[in-house]
Amino acid sequence: MVDIALRGQLWDNDSADVLRWWGFRDITAPMDIEQALKDADGDEVTLLINSPGGDMTVGTEIRSMLRRYSGTTTALFQGFGASAATLAASGCNVIQSEPGALLCYHNPSAGAQGDYHEMERSAEALRNARDCILEIYTARKGSKSREDLMDLMERDVWISPTQALEYGLIDEVMAMDGVTEPGGDPAAFVAASDSRYLLTATMRQKYRDHLAADREAAAKEDKAKRALARIRSLANY
């Protein structure tokens, strides 16, 4: 069995490169899961999740990778399991949760600017994105109705694994001995406000400058090595 960590916020590959250069470590990108699944080479995989979510399309991309993987896959919520992380988990054959995990299933959000036509188009796009998410959730065998899940997403609250089990969004709640736990008191908290890292244009530019400087240094080093090799060849002539 192979454990694969899905930890921290979900970002696209390019943004993850920039954030990691700035020192952020709790990040998962599609390239991380892609490489881990390649290394697993068909072995049974457990996706260990402690993530508040992030980019919706990153979650669905990881979901697709897991659905296409040749081996058996299990998702295990260990801490946070929210937003796009729940979409990634839905690509696994089985979804489990530790009793202490906090799970959140909510409507997608985004920023927009422009006139009222732009605002209306943005609102319509978000409703369509919500419908895409609902299609994923309701595709699971035993899930509650679309209306029930829509109501849950509208509430935007943290729910317990036991509640998620009742909604049909996960398959098992693990007890201390590793078997399914029959119940437990639900813990509901108001969902935290968006704490997504702010990746600014300045941060991206400094990262590009860093890469350019590295390439320039590598080119100078290569030129120096070539010159030294030529001098040595002339000396041995």
Q: In 10 A of CB 4, how many CB atoms?
A: 21
CB 74 within 8 Å of CB 92: yes
The verdict on whether 143 is a catalytic residue reads: no
Cα gap 65→1, rounded to integer Å: 18
Catalytic residue among 83, 90, 97, 160: 83
- The residue annotated as part of the active site, out of 15, 51, 106, 160, is 106
Q: What is the DSSP letter of 171?
A: S
Question: What secondary structure does DSSP assign to 57-89, as a single string?
Answer: HHHHHHHHHHHH-SS-EEEEEEEEEETHHHHHH
Host H or E run for residue 237:
none
For residue 45, what are the β-bridge partners? 2, 73
Active-site residue, 210 included? no
Nearest Cα residue to 49 out of 24, 26, 67, 65: 26
Euclidean distance between CA atoms 97 and 75, whole angstroms: 8
1 three-class SS = coil
User: Active-site residues: which are they?
Assistant: 83, 106
